[in-house]
Amino acid sequence: MQHQLDSKTHHSRQILLSLLFIVVLVLGLLYAKWVPYFQKSFVAASTHNIGNAIVGNGHLGKALPWFSLSLGWNFTKAYFLAIYKAFIVALLVGSLVQVLLPVRTIRKYMGGDKFSNSFWAMLMGVPTMMCTCCTAPVAVGLKRSKASTRSVVSFFLANPLLNPATLIFMGFVLGWNYTIFRLIMGIIVVLLVSWFISKVAKEKMVNVPDNKMFDPIEYDDKSLFTRWLEALGKLMLESIPAYVVIVFILGCFQGLIFPAVANLSNNPILGVIGLAILGTLFVIPTAGEIPIIQTLLALGLTPAFVGTLIIALPALSIVSLSLIKPAFSWKSISYMFCAIVVMSIISGILGAIIL
């Protein structure tokens, strides 16, 4: 009788903790994503513009010094003003997922190495609508909560590539043909790359006891609040210092990373390959690729380059790759980078034909 009572109490507690996580997630997304993007969609629809390109301090396409501290500072400031709300939410969600959600729940939907796990993880990444860097702390939290490599990569890539707000902005600003192209290519990239990484990663899926009572909360003597503070503090130490430093360095070297469009047009093949590599390394906020592509189109950028950047810019960055290091080996990270570069090149080739 006492065992049944304890089991019922434990189950009720888990339901309450899961509901608390959902409330925090929804409120955070309303604050950082859903409401601001809903308002911004009207601006995009009426003006066909969502602001200046973050690269080059709004002067993309012009020759920039190969190194500039002032450009680095301006870029860093503009970048963090654009993403700080989402990053705060990401840290909260990434830490809370480790202490509020039962491991067996995450394992059920994201613990396997099947297509269904990858597909569900991709769908879960659509409403959160984060850029690749803001998604990283959540991805780390999911990995520590026993989600499989394939599921985590799907979630990680789906956020920036299948962001519904970005797709809507892209339609209003660039044209709906770009939105359809990005949506189809985004789904292909998410599912293919997550499958590929799961094949090369050492640990493909997790082994968690099927015992219904299994839950780290039950076997940890520390209070819930203490464990959450530890998880949050660990994420902050692993992410914030590297985040700031790498963003500043990238900003300082904008002139070296993104040369004038004229230089890219001299050799289309090398241009596509170069943009695939540099675009995958560079960091932008959510939907930051849209004003960059809009500016470059006005300067004569070819569809092949657009097709390349439409995947390379949002999918990854050197910053997000450094932020997911606590959850992935260097081998997996290297393969992920190479896979996105290759898919960006393929996207560029298809863009030259379709766009």
Render pLDDT for 98-140 as a digit per residue (tens, 0 to 9): 999 888 888 888 998 999 999 999 999 999 999 999 999 999 9
**In the predicted model, is pLDDT for residue 239 greater than 70?**
yes
pTM of the model: 0.90
d(CA 284, CA 54): 8
Rg (CA), the chain: 21
Cβ 32 vs Cβ 92: under 8 Å: no
Q: Which residues contact 349 (CB under 8 A, 6 or more apart)?
A: 272, 304, 307
d(CA 165, CA 34): 8
Which of residues 228 and 263 earns the better pLDDT score? 228
**DSSP one-letter code for 287:** T
Tell me the average pLDDT across 274-298: 91
d(CA 190, CA 181): 14
d(CA 270, CA 274): 6
Which of residues 286 and 208 earns the better pLDDT score? 286
Tell me the average pLDDT across 49-58: 76
Neighbours of 334 (CB within 10 A): 13
**In the predicted model, is pLDDT for residue 265 greater than 90?**
no
pLDDT at 13: 81
